[in-house]
Amino acid sequence: MAVEAPGLRERKKRETRLALSRAAIRLSIERGWDNVTVEAIAAEANVSVRTFRNYFANKAEAIAASHVERSMRIADELRTRPTDEPLWDSIADAVLAQFAGGERSGADSEDDRRWRDALRLMLAEPALQGEVVKANAAAQNALAAAIAERTSTDATRDVYPQLVAAVIGAGTAAAVEHCLRADEPLPLARVLREVFDRIRAGLPVP
């Protein structure tokens, strides 16, 4: 019997984690935080509750996992960029690639406004905020590892990869929060591009 390659097994595990996380986010936005159970999330992702428990302890952890997965994909994308490309060009493109097509903030319909309002409420949940703090740490480590490879530095001994990873996280979070708080819908891709253009320029005073 052929043995499944570790890379494929890991890929399938990441796909399952992401499917559960997206189901948890979607249901929490549509139904409200208190009206979503682990059983409903598992059913939405077409897996058993036991499978859910194999990946996550609760729905807050499942929701926060999307942030970690996105950062891992950004790190994966960064590793494929040309080594002679300016670092912040590579970073901006890697980040934008993970948000392209997934934003709803460019439209101005009543459904989109309700979706943004529900997302704000979900992100304000204390239980989720605690998991987001943990997710931020995991995301930063994943990005720092890719930055270290790209810059021939050490993610555990050198401050540079951790600093750059922290800036990526802060810049992305600022763009998302800016879009969520805007009175009128804003295209997230455009705001992200502006954020990383400003970072690349050294954050000059406007």
**How many Å from the N-terminal Cα to the C-terminal Cα in the chain?**
63
Cβ(77)–Cβ(97) below 8 Å? yes
Helices (H), the chain: 6-31, 38-44, 49-55, 59-80, 87-99, 110-123, 126-151, 159-181, 188-200
pLDDT score at 103: 45
CB 70 within 8 A of CB 52: no
Q: Are 97 and 168 a contacting pair, CB within 8 Å?
A: no
- CA-nearest of 115, 76, 104, 74 to 189 is 104
Residue 159 CB neighbour total at 10 angstroms:
10
Contact of 103 with 189, CB cutoff 8 Å: yes
Looking at residue 118, what is its pLDDT? Answer: 77
At 57 the pLDDT is 94
- Mean pLDDT for each 10-residue chunk of the chain (206 residues)? 59 91 92 93 96 95 92 94 94 90 49 72 86 92 96 96 96 92 85 95 90
How confident is the model at residue 37, as a pLDDT?
96
